[in-house]
Structure 1
Amino acid sequence: MDNAIKLLLAEDEPALGQIIKESLETRHFDVTLCEDGEKALRKYHEVSPELLVLDVMMPKKDGFTLAKDIRKIDDTIPIIFLTAKSQTQDVVEGFTIGGNDYLKKPFSMEELIVRINNLLNRTKEQQQSEIIELSDFIFNFPKQTLQYKSENKVQLTHREAHLLFHLIKNKNKVLDRSLILNKLWGTDDFFSARSMDVFITKLRKKLKKDTNIEIINVRGYGYKLIC
């Protein structure tokens, strides 16, 4: 299953979890099944899945809380919630915290698979559009690489890539310091702010070959990428 798409499934009903796992594996998905949210978060870091299917009601850490934790470090991975809840506010909350789709129990496996494939196709199209020209640099956000003219590509860390992506999306505008700290670090406290300053310095060094690009500090507000 070397070429199989990695999927993380968090479901606390053993029978249902196994049925979903086996059904997806017959469609050539590589499925990691977890029975609670805490284990799912650990497995997320271990297996680097391409999509998450999360039951909302789980022991130790529920699906919404798990999604919030993952969204602090990864704002692109597709998330599908599974739930027996039908209240409108629950659906709204699921989308508000970063869910991409919401499937109410009971559901058919064919419907789940269609939704998974739709999300994966949408993500692939989005990633293809996120190869960005920045003056004489080519920034490949999905692969987290930065290339100056015809030189070798430089590999960025996860946070460097996401920070640069947000700077570029707000090019020539101020990127709010508190907003980006909460998005990428999960908090805007003093230590996280100092950490972000270090990442900004690293990005400046990587971009210094092009004199048309500058990252400036707008005191009291945030940073601005000028190009």
Structure 2
Amino acid sequence: MTKASLLLLEDDPNLSESVSEYLENCGYSVTCVYDVSAAEDTLYERKFDLLLLDVNVPGGDGFSLLKASRKEGNVTPAIFITSRNSMKDVEEGFESGGDDYIRKPFALKELLLRIQTILKRNFYHNPTDVLKLAEGITYDSDNQVLLINGATQNLQLKEHKLLKLFIQHRHELLSHEMILEHLWDYDETPSDGSLRTYIKTLRKLLGKDSIVSHKRLGYQFR
């Protein structure tokens, strides 16, 4: 299975090492940075599935970093990790584009649960409520409404999840393993046949060239 990639901004080297080692042992890929400048460069160069951001860090603060990143179109979910514990700080964290807020000191297991919850939700930030996918085709991700020339299209739950995944990773090659892991819960049995059916449905609605199949590798949404 493809590992979810996490960016960890934490200037305390001991805490950074403890968190990254724990999360890597839990199956995640973790990239560590220690100041705002390094975080900005890394976010420019790479895409992540989740951001873990300390607030009080050299070169600025996590709130301002995420707020600026959101304005530039970064839609990646984010969790703030901080010793700040006032309600004003919590409010500022959410207003800057954060999705969760965990106070130091914290149990690593609690952080893991918060990460799993956010990644499972499959939501992301977008500066507009409705995405334009093509001429005459829009998608309201919050309300799960696909409109084609003003007409609502009926999609199954997993077809919505698949479309959201493709939109999040537009132009990226997504492996079969990553897609199967994303669409099916741990207590469900993934089905290649069902996946092909979902792909066929989306192609029929969005255009046959909207989803490119790469033999033995995966799919790419264009």
| Bucket of the pairwise TM-score, normalised by the shorter protein | 0.5 to 0.7
Normalization by structure 2: what TM-score?
Answer: 0.61
Which residue of structure 1 aligns with residue 49 of structure 2?
50
State yes or no: 1:152 paired with 2:166. Answer: no
Which residue of structure 1 aligns with residue 158 of structure 2?
none
Aligned pair in 2 of structure 1 residues 132, 85: CA closer, same or farther (>3 Å)? same
Paired with 2:90 and 2:143, the residues of 1 have a C-alpha distance of 29
SS in 2 for 1:17: helix
Unaligned runs of 5+ in 2: 125-139, 154-162, 172-201, 213-222
> Aligned residue pairs: how many?
154
User: What amino acid is the match of 1:70?
Assistant: S
Matches within 5 A, 1:40-79: 40-74=39-73, 76-79=75-78
Q: Describe the superposition over 1:191-223 as per-residue Cα deviations: whole angstroms up to 9, x where unpaired.
A: xxxxxxxxxxxxxxxxxxxxxxxxxxxxxxxxx
Larger radius of gyration: 1
Q: Describe the superposition over 1:113-165 as per-residue Cα deviations: whole angstroms up to 9, x where unpaired.
A: 0000100111269969757342389986334479676441289xxxxxxxxxx
SS in 2 for 1:64: helix
User: What amino acid is the match of 1:84?
Assistant: S
Normalization by structure 1: what TM-score?
Answer: 0.59
Give 1:70 deviation, angstroms: 1.3
CA contact (8 A) 1:127 1:141 kept: no
Which residue of structure 1 aligns with residue 111 of structure 2?
112
Matches within 5 A, 1:28-177: 28-74=27-73, 76-123=75-122, 132-135=146-149, 141-144=167-170, 150-153=207-210
Q: Which moved more, 1:21-30 or 1:120-129?
A: 120-129
Q: Describe the superposition over 1:72-115 as per-residue Cα deviations: whole angstroms up to 9, x where unpaired.
A: 13353111001111111001100111110000000000000000
Paired with 2:152 and 2:68, the residues of 1 have a C-alpha distance of 32
Which residue of structure 2 aligns with residue 225 of structure 1?
none
CA contact (8 A) 2:5 2:28 kept: yes
Which residue of structure 1 aligns with residue 7 of structure 2?
8
Q: What value does the CA root-mean-square deviation take over the aligned residues?
A: 3.1
Which residue of structure 2 aligns with residue 202 of structure 1?
none
Q: Which moved more, 1:39-48 or 1:26-35?
A: 39-48
Unaligned runs of 5+ in 1: 156-227
Paired with 2:206 and 2:85, the residues of 1 have a C-alpha distance of 53
User: What amino acid is the match of 1:95?
Assistant: F
Give 1:51 deviation, angstroms: 0.4
SS in 2 for 1:48: coil
Aligned pair in 2 of structure 1 residues 30, 87: CA closer, same or farther (>3 Å)? same
